[in-house]
Amino acid sequence: MSDEKMPSEDPPTYEEAVGSSNGDCNNGGNISINALYPTLESPSGESKPVKHADLNGNDPAGIELIIKATDFSARRHRFQKRKDNRTPYVNHPIGVAHILTNEAHIYDPIVLASALLHDTVEDTKTTLEELKIMFGQEVCDIVAECTDDKSKAYNIRKQLQIDHAASHSFKAKLVKLADKLYNLRDLERQPPHGWDRKRCRDYAKWSKEVISQMRGTNQILENGLDEVIERLLLKFK
Ligand SMILES: [Mn+2]
């Protein structure tokens, strides 16, 4: 995110932005998070206010798994920033999980916990063994499928993602597609420091190739990916 986009002062308070109302907290209203925090727009777009009727808490084990994964991910990534050197890294796995719920309507706690944890093994000292003990075999397996072997060179790793994509489990494919969608939208909003047009274009092309091996997994995610890739290839041609 570029400096000129940073607000010169603190964002308005909730009351300043939406006006004081005495309505109960159930009415939701049309509160724009993007208006409140213009530099913090969610890559998944606006989410709708939650209706209390939806919150019947009938899956405590699923909710527990998801919150435990969020907490674990936040603590493991706590010293890391995204490529802009400013955004906390954990915004990314949380945003990937949010794409899955908000856009793809995926509510499987195993998929969402795996999305929250998908970079912990690749980018922190977390081990698969630890994830297996803490979150179970299935989450461990999905995160393993989302983990590049960092002992291999960058170009080899990128080729292996293309080679392995088709053979991944359905749940791992969902996480991988949402991960790519988040990263491509990030790239569209603000290319990492030092990335020239060619590097941006190559990243979009490489993503397109990986995705082509996972067609038929989820139409919403695939449509979102097709759209952002088309825009990126135009922007950086
Ligand atoms: Mn990721």
List Cβ neighbours of 84 (8 Å cut-off, separation of 6 or more).
1, 190, 192, 193
- Residue 177 CA to ligand 1 center (angstroms) comes to 10
Among the options 41, 122, 138, 209, which is catalytic?
122
Q: What is residue 6's predicted lDDT score, i.e. its pLDDT? A: 41
**Quick check: 28 pLDDT over 70?**
no
Among the options 10, 46, 59, 123, which is catalytic?
123
Q: What is residue 219's predicted lDDT score, i.e. its pLDDT? A: 98
Query: Can 41 be counted among the known catalytic residues?
Result: no
pLDDT in tens, 52-73: 666 676 899 999 999 999 999 9
- Residue 118 CA to ligand 1 center (angstroms) comes to 6
Query: Can 122 be counted among the known catalytic residues?
Result: yes
- Residue 70 CA to ligand 1 center (angstroms) comes to 14
- Residue 76 CA to ligand 1 center (angstroms) comes to 14
Q: What's the rounded mean pLDDT across residues 4-27?
A: 47
